[in-house]
């Protein structure tokens, strides 16, 4: 698996356990647009809308949260079409038994349209969204925008917005735990505050505006992952807590180029690493919202990597040992993370796997 995917999965797993967020100094100035010094605004590179996670009760009486996001990348020339994506997410919450489902719809027709003041619309055509529902939302600015600038050059702008109109979405799930639909077909639906519209400008000074992240936060942990780009299980143990994160991507038959991503979280009761020379074996036993067990085995690890980091205000050295050639094998009962809709998530025997152990000195 790619290094980017490994880092992303490890971050999601650590986040599930409530790892402390660290905001590094970036050197970016934040000022209301109305008070910013006069300047030539760079060309727009992309526009993104993110709604709040609004609490809803579905047609089958499930208490869920719904979020809609949309992005539109501007064309670099008249011969290159703009592109975008609209995503609807339904989820149950943030506990270790939570699950989320994202429906991603490709947008080449400009579903997201906004002007420089933050007024606009998010409108999906029947061809773009059918058979899942209807989206025709009005976007209106709330308060003043905030410009994020570097060395006097605006890099991006964020604007709080209201978001309401026609929103109806059918999960098209079946079975006794089906989530049904959310929103309203004929009455107006309002996304609760705060919804955010972000405009990113073409970077005119990349070398001078790279953020200085300083020391990164660190932790002694044990991370593992296995699967393919389509189905993945991963987990992490930091301290006494162990989590499992499951992800599955499915191509939908309609509309064209649409996908659904299922994500579910559980915990591991045991996570035991045994090493012998350069070899390693990691056994995983399920706990809350997960079942079964699995073993990851590797013959050798790569050269350990060390980097400076910071913990509790003190400088540390974090050393990572990675077994990237591991193989995955399920126990007599396969390791799986439960999900109310679309089935539990698990990976097959002999899937490519990886183990990463970090220690602090």
Per residue in 302-344, pLDDT tens? 999 999 998 888 899 999 999 999 999 999 999 999 999 999 9
What band does 41 get if pLDDT is binned at 50, 70 and 90?
Answer: low
The predicted model scores a pTM of: 0.84
Cβ-count burial of 290 within 10 angstroms (0-12 exposed, 13-18 middle, 19+ buried)? buried
pLDDT digits (tens, 9 = 90+) for 70-113: 999 875 544 444 578 999 999 997 666 799 999 999 886 789 99
Alpha-carbon Rg for the chain, nearest whole angstrom, is: 23
What band does 63 get if pLDDT is binned at 50, 70 and 90?
Answer: very high
Amino acid 332: pLDDT: 97
Closest by alpha carbon to 31, among 141, 114, 154, 119?
A: 154
Amino acid 312: pLDDT: 85
- Please give the Cα distance from 293 to 83 (Å, whole number): 42
Taken in order 185, 186, 192, 195, is the CA torsion positive or negative? positive
Stretch 127-142: mean pLDDT: 96
Task: Calculate the CA dihedral of residues 12, 17, 18, 21 and round it to 10 degrees.
Answer: -40
Q: Beta-carbon neighbour count of residue 125 at 10 Å?
A: 13
- Please give the Cα distance from 3 to 330 (Å, whole number): 24
Helix extents (H) in 17-120: none
Taken in order 243, 281, 217, 205, is the CA torsion positive or negative? negative
What band does 118 get if pLDDT is binned at 50, 70 and 90?
Answer: very high
Amino acid 276: pLDDT: 96
- Please give the Cα distance from 250 to 173 (Å, whole number): 14
Q: Is the pLDDT of residue 27 over 70?
A: no
Amino acid 361: pLDDT: 93
Amino acid 154: pLDDT: 86
Greater confidence (352 vs 95) lies with: 352
pLDDT digits (tens, 9 = 90+) for 293-302: 999 999 999 9
Q: Tokens 């490994």 — which residue?
A: 6
Residues near 137 by Cβ (< 8 Å), separated by ≥ 6?
Answer: 68, 121, 122, 123, 163, 164, 165, 166, 167, 191
Q: Beta-carbon neighbour count of residue 127 at 10 Å?
A: 10
pLDDT digits (tens, 9 = 90+) for 206-217: 666 766 666 778
């Amino acid at each position: 698996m790619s290094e980017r995917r490994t880092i992303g999965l490890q971050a999601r797993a650590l986040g599930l356990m409530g790892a402390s967020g660290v905001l590094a100094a970036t050197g970016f100035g934040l000022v209301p647009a109305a008070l910013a010094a006069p300047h030539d605004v760079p060309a727009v590179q992309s526009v993104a809308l993110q709604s709040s996670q609004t609490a809803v009760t579905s047609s089958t009486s499930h208490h869920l949260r719904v979020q809609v996001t949309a992005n539109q990348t501007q064309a670099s020339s008249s011969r290159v079409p703009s592109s975008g994506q609209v995503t609807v997410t339904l989820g149950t919450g943030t506990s270790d038994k939570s699950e989320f489902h994202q429906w991603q719809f490709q947008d080449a027709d400009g579903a997201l349209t906004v002007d420089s003041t933050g007024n606009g619309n998010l409108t999906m055509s029947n061809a773009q969204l059918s058979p899942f529902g209807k989206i025709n939302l009005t976007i209106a600015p709330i308060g003043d925008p905030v410009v994020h600038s570097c060395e006097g050059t605006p890099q991006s702008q964020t604007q709080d917005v209201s978001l309401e109109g026609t929103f109806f979405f059918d999960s098209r799930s079946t079975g006794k735990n089906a989530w049904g639909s959310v929103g309203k077909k004929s009455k107006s639906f309002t996304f609760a505050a705060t919804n955010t519209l972000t405009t990113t400008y073409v970077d005119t000074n990349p070398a001078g505006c790279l953020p200085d992240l300083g020391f990164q936060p660190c932790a002694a942990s044990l991370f593992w992952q296995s699967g393919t780009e389509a189905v993945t299980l991963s987990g992490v143990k930091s301290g006494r807590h162990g989590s499992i994160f499951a992800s599955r991507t499915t191509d939908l038959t309609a509309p064209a180029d649409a996908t659904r991503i299922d994500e579910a979280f559980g915990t591991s009761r045991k996570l035991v690493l045994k090493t012998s020379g350069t070899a390693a074996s990691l056994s995983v036993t399920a706990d809350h919202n997960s079942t079964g067990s699995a073993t990851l085995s590797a013959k050798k690890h790569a050269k350990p990597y060390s980097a400076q980091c910071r913990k509790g205000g003190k400088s540390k050295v974090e050393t990572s040992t990675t077994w990237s050639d591991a193989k995955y094998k399920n126990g007599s009962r396969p390791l799986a993370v439960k999900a109310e809709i679309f089935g539990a998530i698990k990976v097959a025997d002999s899937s490519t796997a990886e183990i990463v152990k970090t220690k602090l000195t």
